[in-house]
Every structure is written in structure tokens, then in C-alpha cells.
Amino acid sequence: MLLPQPDGTLARYRQTGDPLIPRAPRRAFTRTAFAAAHLVSDPLADHTPWDGRPAIDWDATLGLRRTLWDQGLHLAEAMDTAQRGMGVDWATARELIARTMAEAKAHPTGPRVACGAGTDHVTPDRLNTEAAILNAWRDQMEVVEAAGGQVILMATRALPALNADRDTYVRVYGKLIEEAAAPVILHWLGPMFDAALAGYWGDRNVDVASDTLLSIIAANPAKIDGIKISLLNRAHEEAFRKRLPAGVKLYTGDDFNYSDLIAGDGTHHSDALLGIFAAIAPAAAQALEALADGDRATYDALLAPTVPLSHEIFCAPTQFYKAGIAFLSWLNGTQPNFTMPGGFQASRGIVHYAEVFRLADRARLLGRPDLAETRMRALLALHGVDQG
């Protein structure tokens, strides 16, 4: 098959044909691992992709989640990977949470599901006070808790929009943490994922912001399960996790350095709450199993080839990474079409998708090679790439 390259030329590529087979784990993991999952669109629904609520293929969306649970992974639901604020509204996210929690309760593995609670159901012009932001967050927390999910306090664009200072963050988060029915997961999403979150925790200096966040955690550690950090900064994460109170997890959201961060340094390690884990589920689950067995060589052999793939999927502009995750799901047959809410699949070009195809194959993540080739050829034809 001829695939386009960054220099504008075409190069012939032949698949390796050695995919990993998804399976249930043979033992419990020693790391908590949440995969953040995307939504599958229904392209046959009569709707306008750029206007109104997205049309969702619920059977495929929930089926995708079952494949993650079957492999021993937990689920981070209705998060950034599900296009919150980038094509998916709160009404859709609320329905997603309800449907997912019903599926999770029926699944034999009893998976954990942590769900994003934010403020995106209220228009920005109405989130103009601390009280308004608090009430909006409470609304979504109540929905998550009523469904039986664990609350992830998603970073909100509303606080940076108010130029909120350190004390505001301390007050707002302190109240939400105290009011939560069970320990929550905090969420620090860097501006490379969402430019509107620059200056989160009240300061653009990451060290100052870290001190504020740590003070929030230290004030009530019993009500905090962990903190997800997505700054793509390995050194910062390693330093930060050393300062956490005992029992509070660092959930890495670093889609560039997850392999080493999860393995740890012998004293500290990160757990996982990652978008890439949904795309690399067989490698991630089987690597975590090997790590639990004390087999670091197999862990590295399975995860190391996924890192270049993740770098490509999360390349700048990073916020478009969801397209690569949906693309791999389509190639692997876990969704029947390559369409996304808001037409988000158009956020990346064919050169990117060709490189994702190559790297996924080398990482043994094209589970159905014939189907993957057939679908890749169809996408190439759509983009006018002649196979000669």
C-alpha cells in the first residue's frame, strides 16, 4: 500500500501482521488504570454536525467501553477525550454518563467509572461570579453521584476567564471537595490541551500553581482519591508526586512519558488516567499485567513501541488528538464509521493518519490487519491518493 509522507511523496508500506490479541488479564494490576474513551457518531442520523446536539451511535459507544473493561481497564467517562466543549455538550455527556453507569453495573468485572463534572452546561456570560461557578459545578457533581460514578472535578474555563486568584481556587475547590459524597479526582489539564485553561490554579508559573494545588490537597486529603496531571512534563510530575500526602494518587495524563512514569523509580510511581490507553488497550493492559508479575522487560517491550504512536496522535495542535483515537478505533473495527461529533475527524490530515497507521502496526495495535488495510485504502482514496 502506498502511504503519503510528510515531504509530500508516497512510500510503499507493508503491514507486519503481528497484532496483539485483546484478552482478560490473568492477575490484578498493581497500578490503577483509567482509559479515557471517546464517542462514536451516528453518520446516518438526520442532523447538522456543526449545529445542535451530536448524533451518537450508542451501541458502538457502549460496546467500545465494554472492550476496555474486558481487558481489565477502568474508565474515565465524559472527559476531554469525549470532546467535552469541543463538539459534545452537557446534555449528551449527561446521557452518556447514565448509559455508561448502567452498563458498568452489569459488567462482570465490576469496573470503576470516574466521570467528568464541570461547568459547561452554563453559558460563559452567566459564569461571572464565584457563586455561579460553584453552583454549576454542583449541578454536574449531583448527576455523576446519582448515577453511581466517581466525580472528577474537571478543570473549568470559567475560573481563568475571571482571572481568579489563588484564594478563589482554594475556596471553590475546598467547598466542592468537602461537599462531595466520596473522594474525588482533581484534574489539571494544561493549555496545550485547552488554551482557555492557561493560568489554572491562579498563576501561569507552574511551580506557583503547583504550590496552590498541593495546599488544596493537603487541606482535605481524605476526600481526594488523586490528581490527574496533563502537562506533558515528566520532571514536573515526578517532583509533584513526591510531595503528595500518603494515599493520594498521581494519575498521569502525560501521553508522552506514561511508560516510565507508570513504571516508577522504585520509590514513587504514577497511576494512569490516559486518553492514549483507549487507543492502545491491548498493549497497556498486557504491559500492566507484566508489571504486576515483576516482568519489567515484557512491560517495556509492550509499551515502548506505543510511545512514538502516542507522540504522533498527541502532536501539536495537541487538542486534536481525539481524531487519532477515533481513527484507530475505526481501523480496528470497534466502531463502524470514521465520523466524530462536530465533524472533528477533519481536524487532522491524511499525512497524519498515514503515520498513525504505520506506528500502530509497528506497535502491534492493528488487531484486524485485513480490515485495517481495507479501511485505510478507503480513506486514502477519499483523499485522492492513487494506489497505482
Tell me the CA end-to-end span of the chain in Å, nearest whole number.
9
Q: What DSSP string describes 218-246?
A: HH-GGGEEEEEEESS-HHHHHHHHHTSPT
Whole-number pLDDT of residue 198: 97
Rg (CA), the chain: 20
Query: Is there a domain that residue 388 lies in?
Result: no
Answer yes or no: is 301 within a domain. Answer: no
Q: Are 357 and 16 in contact (CB under 8 A)?
A: no
Number of separate domains in the chain: 1
CATH number for position 204: 3.20.20.70
Residue 173 within any structural domain of the chain = yes
Distance CA 139, CA 121 (A): 9
For residue 123, tell me if it sits in a domain.
Answer: yes
Is 216 part of any domain? yes
**Does residue 313 form part of some domain?**
no
Residue 312 lies in a domain: no
Residue 257's domain spans which residues? 30-295
pLDDT of amino acid 332: 98
DSSP 266-303: SS---EEEESHHHHSHHHHHHHHHHHHTT-HHHHHHHH
Contacts (Cβ under 8 Å, ≥6 apart) of 47 = 53, 54, 55
- Asked whether residue 314 is assigned to any structural domain, the reply reads no
Its pTM stands at: 0.96
Residue 32 and residue 19: Cα distance in Å, rounded? 25
- How high is the pLDDT of residue 226? 98
Q: What pLDDT sits at residue 386?
A: 87
Walk along the chain (388 residues) in steps of 10 and give the mean pLDDT of each run: 95 94 97 98 86 93 98 98 95 98 98 98 97 98 98 98 98 98 97 96 97 98 98 98 98 98 97 98 98 98 98 97 98 96 96 98 97 98 90
Among candidate residues 158, 165, 151, 166, the one with its CA nearest the CA of residue 135:
158
| Predicted pLDDT of residue 362 | 97
Contact (CB, 8 A) for 158 and 124: yes
pLDDT at 50: 84
